Amino acid sequence: MKKGKKLYEGKAKIIYATNDKDLVIQYFKDDATAFNNQKKTTIEGKGVLNNRISEHILSNLGQIGIKNHLVKRLNMREQIIKLVEIIPIEFIVRNVASGSITKRLGIEDGTVLKEPLVEYCLKDDKLGDPLVAEEHIYAFDWATKEEIKKVKKMILRINDFMIGMFRGVGIKLIDFKLEFGRFKSNGKNEIILADEISPDTCRLWDTVTDKKLDKDRFRKDLGDLIPAYTEVAKRLGILHEQSNVSAVNVTKISSIKKRK
Ligand code: TMP
Ligand code: ASP
């Protein structure tokens, strides 16, 4: 597989072409942004951890039949993925109220929701990813009714699976963001899960202490982001127990276990 030219650079990842027209390379950067780029920094080692954690979650989802863009991880920062046309909607799934919904609707942080709540945001940084209604999606042809029906079905299965996976390692899945894309193969258009699932795109709280193990550590200036992401990776069984990842020596994660 030959790495070609840069096709797209986002806030946390870069996409490169390959010599296969259906496949691209997704590179995880160390850049951290919040509140639509108003706040940004570089956190050494974040990309390495997100690459591993996202690989773990997407390959597990693949095993329960959730089609997704992951083909395989290439190295510490890169994975081969299927090239999709991204549906320009960020699908936010909430099990517990936290973050923007608490401010927008005056809901107390930590309120457990009766059932998962799915919100739609238009994926447009210049507009600040505004919340939209399902009707807007159809009115402006961002996706078809059939596509959203499929996406919703997948979202609920993904949420169930992820709640259980994290619960098993002492973590509460508060909320997360998903993106989906259209993959064209043999003239067929398939909706598959895309982007990444990592502590950058989820809120993850320790079950016992409610300690935040996600990007809120950066958003809220709590510090210790790398130890928190490392904790998530260790609990998921991705890192050997002895690996002591700190913000300074994270590039030496030599003991990362090779998964099958
Ligand atoms: P919010 O509380 O800011 O709306 O975020 C809800 C969840 O979605 C949280 O886990 C962070 C994630 N998220 C992203 O991954 N990317 C984004 O651009 C936004 C707005 C949220
Ligand atoms: N990902 C968005 C940003 O970088 C929002 C966030 O995660 O808070 O601005």
Which atom belonging to ligand 2 lies closest to the Cα atom of 39? 9
Lowest mean pLDDT among 70-74, 97-101, 239-243: 239-243
Which atom belonging to ligand 1 lies closest to the Cα atom of 203? 10
Question: Are 46 and 98 within one domain?
Answer: no
Range of the domain at 80: 3-84+224-249
In-domain check, residue 236: yes
In-domain check, residue 214: no
Number of structural domains in the chain = 2
In-domain check, residue 259: no
Ligand 2 centroid – CA 79 distance (Å): 22
Query: What gap in Å lies between CA 68 and CA 20, rounded to an integer?
Result: 18
Question: Are 80 and 93 within one domain?
Answer: no
Lowest mean pLDDT among 8-22, 53-67, 180-194, 245-259: 245-259
Ligand 2 centroid – CA 50 distance (Å): 15
Give the pLDDT of residue 155: 98
Q: Is the pLDDT of residue 22 over 70?
A: yes
**For the chain, where are the alpha helices, taking DSSP H only?**
46-63, 100-105, 134-139, 145-167, 216-219, 225-235
Ligand 1 centroid – CA 190 distance (Å): 25
Q: 11: closest CA among 90, 94, 85? A: 90
Q: Is the pLDDT of residue 141 over 80?
A: yes
Percent of the chain with pLDDT over 90: 88
Give the pLDDT of residue 185: 80
Give the pLDDT of residue 188: 86
For residue 178, give the ligand nearest its CA: 1
Question: Are 76 and 164 within one domain?
Answer: no
Question: Are 129 and 228 within one domain?
Answer: no
In-domain check, residue 260: no
Residue showing tokens 């059932």: 115
**Cβ < 6 A, ligand 2 pocket:** 11, 33-37, 215, 219
Give the pLDDT of residue 37: 84
Q: Tell me, what CATH number does 40's domain have?
A: 3.30.200.20
For residue 126, give the ligand nearest its CA: 2
Give the pLDDT of residue 60: 98
Give the pLDDT of residue 186: 80
Question: Are 113 and 198 within one domain?
Answer: yes
Question: Are 74 and 96 within one domain?
Answer: no
Give the pLDDT of residue 256: 39
pLDDT tens for 184-233 read: 988 888 999 999 999 999 999 999 999 999 999 999 999 999 999 999 99
Question: Are 148 and 191 within one domain?
Answer: yes
**For 92-176, where are the alpha helices, taking DSSP H only?**
100-105, 134-139, 145-167
Q: Which residues of 84-107 are buried (b: 16+ CB within 10 A; e: fewer)?
A: beebebbbbbbbbbbebbeeeeee
Question: Are 54 and 166 within one domain?
Answer: no
Q: Tell me, what CATH number does 198's domain have?
A: 3.30.470.20
Q: Which of 119, 120, 201, 213 to mutate to test the pocket of ligand 1 (most atoms within 8 A of CB)?
A: 201
Confidence of residue 63 (pLDDT cuts 50, 70, 90): very high
Question: Are 62 and 131 within one domain?
Answer: no
Confidence of residue 252 (pLDDT cuts 50, 70, 90): very low
Give the pLDDT of residue 241: 61
Give the pLDDT of residue 166: 98
Q: Is the pLDDT of residue 115 over 90?
A: yes
Q: Is the pLDDT of residue 245 over 90?
A: no
Confidence of residue 257 (pLDDT cuts 50, 70, 90): very low
Average pLDDT, the chain: 93
In-domain check, residue 127: yes
Q: Is the pLDDT of residue 153 over 90?
A: yes
Question: Are 107 and 58 within one domain?
Answer: no
